[in-house]
């Protein structure tokens, strides 16, 4: 819990050394025990790195202040333009998972602790499931534009704990129970059909946490490509590479459900079979392919007529974009009815409960 006006100036280098020791100890236990930081008051300068090193950050929305530099110290800014210390600002830029009143954040912390293992050698508490394991997710396909609601429908008793909700809205991350076992979930939100650099980083950091603490990962894939702006061009290659690395490096059970469109290399990154998914399911109306059939037809036909483009698009869709084609090639294990999603996902994680992977010996990757 953090609420401090900073180090004592009289202690000078002693205070700086103490800060460094805090950082080092946090890093040493990172991936060994989950670290949760609660910003209740002032948390500025070097102290702001403590929550940044933590796994989850909760911040009181009124009195909490989190910053490296004060608003007036930032070039071209003042507190009337952007208050970078505010909880709402820090949540939007991804530095805070949850904001609220003191009672709300303590309740959320208790809920999160109930979902997490005590350490990296603890298998996590598997509770007796009071929900029907074969419960139909009736109408789940109508929530394709609201992935958090879809995940809640799949989860035991409809409980889904979302992390970093205000950050990178193209991606949803969070925890749920399936047959009493904690599962980490990553999904394309449905609010947009692309993934951005922040979304890729949000997903990769979450997957890395799950892998460190042996929490299986469920992915709901529904996207057509990448965000297209100059800013994204600068950030996306590295961010996408980090997401690919997170999925490929993770040795925990990984199950993916394709709920809508899955186009191009963006789909490959979202827990595809090629990048390490143990099971891939798809809904009957899912589309898996290189790109939208109409766009592909325009390239294939060139200067052809509109009728030729329509004909080629229909042929391309049937041959290359149909989910059955992906299943025939082995990239989808089973085409499932959307209402049966919960049943199939639970079954997959049960089969993978004792999964073990041997990887080449190395100190660490460099991506």
* pLDDT tens per residue across span 181-197: 999 999 999 899 999 99
**Quick one: 103 and 137 in the same domain?**
no
| Residue 116 belongs to a domain | no
Same domain, 95 and 148: no
Domain count, the chain: 2
Q: How far is 59 from 66, CA to CA, in rounded Å?
A: 9
Q: Residue range 142-164: average pLDDT? A: 96
Residue 199 near residue 170 (C-beta atoms within 8 A): yes
Asked if residue 51 and residue 139 are part of one domain, the reply reads no
Residue 258 lies in a domain: yes
Q: Name, in order, each residue with C-beta under 8 angstroms of 298's C-beta and a sequence gap of 6 or more.
A: 309
Supply the pLDDT for residue 253.
97
Residues 102 and 132 in one domain: no
Q: Decide if 238 is inside a domain.
A: yes
pLDDT over 80 at 85, yes or no: yes
Same domain, 199 and 263: yes
| Residue 359 domain-assigned (yes or no) | no
Question: In this structure, is residue 249 part of a structural domain?
Answer: yes
Q: Is 315 within the bounds of a domain?
A: no
Domain-located, residue 293? no
Asked if 89 and 171 sit in the same domain, the reply is no
Write out pLDDT tens, residues 7-44. 888 888 999 999 999 999 999 999 999 999 999 999 99
**How far is Cα 335 from Cα 192, in angstroms, rounded to an integer?**
24
Which stretches of 83-229 are DSSP H helices? 87-92, 102-113, 147-154, 197-212
Region label for 330, one of left (φ > 0), alpha (ψ between -120 and 50) or beta (otherwise): left
Q: Which CATH number goes with the domain that contains 78?
A: 3.90.226.10
Q: Are 156 and 131 in contact (CB under 8 A)?
A: yes
Task: Specify the DSSP element, H or E, that contains 161.
Answer: strand 160-163
Same domain for 219 and 347? yes
For residue 364, being part of any structural domain is answered with no
> Is residue 143 domain-shared with residue 15, that is, in the same domain?
no
| Domain containing residue 276 | 124-283+336-351
């Amino acid at each position: 819990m953090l609420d401090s006006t900073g180090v004592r100036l009289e202690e000078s280098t002693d205070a700086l050394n103490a800060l460094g020791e805090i950082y080092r100890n946090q890093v040493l236990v990172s991936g060994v025990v989950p670290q949760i930081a609660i910003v209740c008051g002032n948390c500025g300068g070097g102290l702001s790195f403590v929550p940044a090193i933590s796994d989850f950050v909760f911040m009181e929305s009124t009195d909490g202040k989190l910053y490296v530099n004060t608003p007036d110290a930032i070039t071209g800014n003042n507190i009337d333009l952007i208050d970078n210390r505010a909880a709402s600002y820090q949540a939007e830029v991804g530095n805070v998972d949850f904001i609220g009143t003191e009672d709300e954040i303590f309740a959320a912390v208790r809920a999160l602790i109930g979902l997490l293992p005590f350490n990296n050698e603890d298998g996590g508490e598997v509770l007796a499931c009071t929900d029907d394991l074969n419960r139909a997710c009736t109408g789940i396909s109508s929530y394709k534009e609201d992935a958090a609601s879809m995940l809640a429908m799949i989860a035991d008793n409809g409980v889904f704990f979302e992390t970093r909700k205000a950050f990178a809205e193209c991606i949803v991350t969070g925890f749920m129970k399936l047959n009493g076992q904690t599962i980490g979930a990553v999904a394309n939100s449905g609010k947009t059909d692309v993934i951005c650099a922040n979304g890729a980083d949000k997903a990769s950091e979450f997957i890395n946490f799950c892998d460190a603490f042996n929490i299986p990962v469920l992915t709901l894939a529904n996207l057509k490509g990448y965000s297209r702006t100059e800013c994204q061009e600068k950030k996306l290659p590295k961010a996408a590479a980090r997401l690919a690395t997170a999925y490929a490096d993770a040795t925990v059970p990984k199950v993916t459900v394709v709920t809508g469109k899955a186009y191009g290399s963006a789909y490959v990154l979202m827990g595809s079979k090629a990048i390490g998914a143990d099971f891939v399911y798809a809904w009957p109306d899912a589309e898996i392919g290189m790109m939208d059939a109409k766009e592909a037809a325009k390239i294939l036909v060139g200067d052809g007529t509109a009728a030729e483009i329509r004909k080629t698009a229909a042929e391309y869709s049937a041959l290359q974009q149909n989910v059955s084609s992906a299943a025939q090639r082995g990239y989808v294990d089973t085409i499932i009815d959307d209402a049966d999603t919960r049943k199939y996902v639970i079954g997959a994680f049960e089969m993978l409960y004792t999964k073990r992977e041997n990887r080449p010996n190395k100190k660490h990757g460099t991506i």
